[in-house]
Chain A
Amino acid sequence: MKKYLPLLIAGILALLPLIGLSSYWMHILILVIMWSVIGMAWNLLGGYCGQVSFGHAAFFGVGAYTAGILYNKTGMSAWWGLPASIVVVALFALLIGYICLRLKGPFFALGTLAMGVILRVTAENLTTITEGDLGIMIRERTWIDKTYYFYIILILAVASFFVVKKVIESKLGYYFVAIREDQDAAESLGINTTFYKTVALSLSAVITGLAGAFYTNYMGYIDPKIVFALHDISIVTIMVVMVGGVATFWGPFVGAIIMVFLAELIRSIPKLGAAHHTFFGILLILIIIYLPNGITGDNPKLKRLLRMGKTT
């Protein structure tokens, strides 16, 4: 049964558009699934391999701009950005990995954070290529109906899920976790830590970049402040995983549901909309203090609470 759960959930999700959801709800669903994809990608690197990235917006943005620039400069469909982003983002990941992976722990986190900012500022200033702050507009939208976009991102999510699952259950997964738990021990057990960290980073980056390329196609407009955003992309990515469950298969999905709905809820309440970062921040602080491994993660506290609930 458990084996078929992913397929079952994918099947239910695939049937959702048939019940005639409004355009608004389709949009929410698409966002939830897009954030699950980004969360899964981050989780692979941060949750399993222990390399906490504060700069996943870098990969999201490069993916988004690959699609945008391809459309803007060659007139090709921005959908070609999806396959193209795999190559471009992988190259960026190798470069960023080369520089940042020599840093350990929190310094890696800050190195990646700086990378995200560097790319944002570069995109703002390289106006001949990126159009700078004006951003890039996809003038011919492929579809008005959101259903098509929904199925594309769903396919991307299902594929990412199985790729991550496959990787984690293989030798690679063991090596990632070994690196997370003790880098020196891993190294002396014959694990080429630099190599495997680069693999984790590249894989994570490519999946994030695909989500970025999808974003360009779906939203039809990108600018550096949106796609390279520190808080609204990089930090929200971490929150999706931390809220949902660090180093779990379903955590990113659960986290994406909570985060997207929370964001919509806060936005819908008049006067509170402006304070949505405060709510996110407070949520982040509470999660870190009380549920450090997320809702579906390994939490003795939560388990104890639940058990108490059952006995009383």
Chain B
Amino acid sequence: MTAPQVEVLLQTILSGLLLGGLYALIGIGMTLIMGVMKIINLAHGELMMVGMYIAYVLFSTFHIDPYLSILVAAPALFLLGVFLQKFLINPVMKVDAIIPENQVILTVGIGMVLANIATIIFSSDYKTTPVDYATKAWYLSDIWKTSPIEISLSLPWTVSFCCALAITGGLWFFLGKTDMGKSIRATAQDKDAALLMGVNVEKMRVVTFGLGSALVGSAGCLFIPIYYLYPDLGGQFTLTAFVITILGGLGSTVGAIVGGLILGVFESLTSTYAGMGWAPVGRFVIFLAALIFVPQGIMSLFTRKRFGK
């Protein structure tokens, strides 16, 4: 490989990791909901879309930086998630139906309504937040003067990645160290045992759905400086989140991070070497490969099989 080729490869992998960090944030939200509620939230991408529009409105009317708008979007999405869980999803979980996938179909309905309302309010035009640092980049040679190869990374991508890391870290602390976080994890592991130990399972479900929504909403705010926005963009991110959760093993937070990074790098590689249009196909090739070869998720390769019934 010649030096320019190495540069392209490294550049591709690094951009992939940055993208993967953001994907991980989306995936964690989905996997949390999946773990605690045992349902798949197909409105996940649409919730992210709502977060992005919040950031867009704040930017275009008040010129608030998209990164700061997380402070508004995350609580707003939390409330939206709580509302959806309490008044729509929870009642359906109690309904007896021939098709047990009712709740999944319900979240599809929620997603449709959200996307459509966004179309009505904002039209289906592509929107961006033209921040002045959008096209700025930093170069490896700025830091390491004698570097033999040159790599440049987009500044907003890097900032978004760091924010995603910080949020993930915060979540880690919340789930690991606080009482509520521990209760959520207990509910995910064994609902009945948690109930017996005095955990308010109903409340944990509501909080988890809110939390998952807030996470993906924040991811939306991190995406908007580097991405364009349109009402139907939710669907592709729902699928991305789903692919990440399958890759990482259902309900595993660490798995979601690993899955997100793998997916980011893989997509980055496909768009560099096979063309932009094929990037989504790459995503699904990896998804199918995971389904066929590692149905328990990537993480199962590293951990020993758990005791099963």
Please give the residue numbers on chain A whose beta carbons come within 8 Å of chain B beta carbons, in ascending order.
46-47, 50, 52, 54, 99-100, 102-103, 105-107, 109-111, 113-114, 117-118, 121-122, 124-125, 180, 230-231, 235, 238, 242, 246-247, 274-278, 280-282, 284-285, 288-289, 292-293, 297-298
Contact = CB atoms under 8 A, between A and B. Distances in A.
B105 A110 contact: no
A118 B104 contact: no
A118 B243 CA distance: 12
Given A114-B284, A284-B112, A289-B92, A105 B100 contact: yes
B278 interface: yes
Interface string B99-116: 111101110111111011
Contacts of B277: 121, 124-125
22 contacts: A50-B99, A52-B104, A102-B295, A105-B100, A105-B101, A106-B39, A106-B104, A110-B42, A113-B239, A114-B239, A117-B239, A118-B284, A118-B288, A231-B112, A238-B105, A274-B116, A277-B119, A284-B105, A284-B108, A284-B109, A292-B95, A292-B102
Given A106-B101, A288-B95, A292-B97, A275 B116 contact: yes
Contact of B99 (A46, A121, A231): A46
B237 interface: no
Contacts of B96: 292
B120 A274 contact: yes
Contacts of B292: 99, 102
B112 A280 contact: yes
A282 B278 CA distance: 34
Contacts of B113: 277-278, 281-282, 285
B148 interface: no
B242 interface: yes
Given A47-B99, A289-B88, A289-B95, A109 B104 contact: yes
A168 to B, nearest CB: 14
Given A114-B239, A230-B235, A99 B99 contact: no
Contacts, number: 136
A289 B97 CA distance: 10
Contact of A117 (B88, B104, B108, B284): B284
A288 B100 contact: no
Interface residue range, chain B: 35 or more
A247 B97 CA distance: 11
A274 B117 CA distance: 9
A288 B106 contact: yes
Interface in B223-273: 235-236, 239, 242-243, 246, 250
Nearest to B278: A125
B98 A293 contact: yes
Nearest to A118: B284
B10 interface: no
Contact of B108 (A114, A235, A275, A297): A235
A284 B106 contact: yes
Contact of A118 (B100, B235, B281): B281
Given A102-B291, A114-B287, A230-B235, A121 B98 contact: no
A284 B42 CA distance: 14
B98 A282 contact: no
A269 to B, nearest CB: 14
Contacts of A103: 291
Nearest to A297: B98
Nearest to A241: B99
A288 B120 contact: no
Contacts of A230: 235
A277 B281 contact: no
Interface in B144-158: none
Given A124-B277, A275-B120, A293 B97 contact: yes
Contacts of B106: 284-285, 288-289
The 4 closest A-B pairs by CB, nearest first: A292-B97, A281-B112, A284-B109, A281-B113
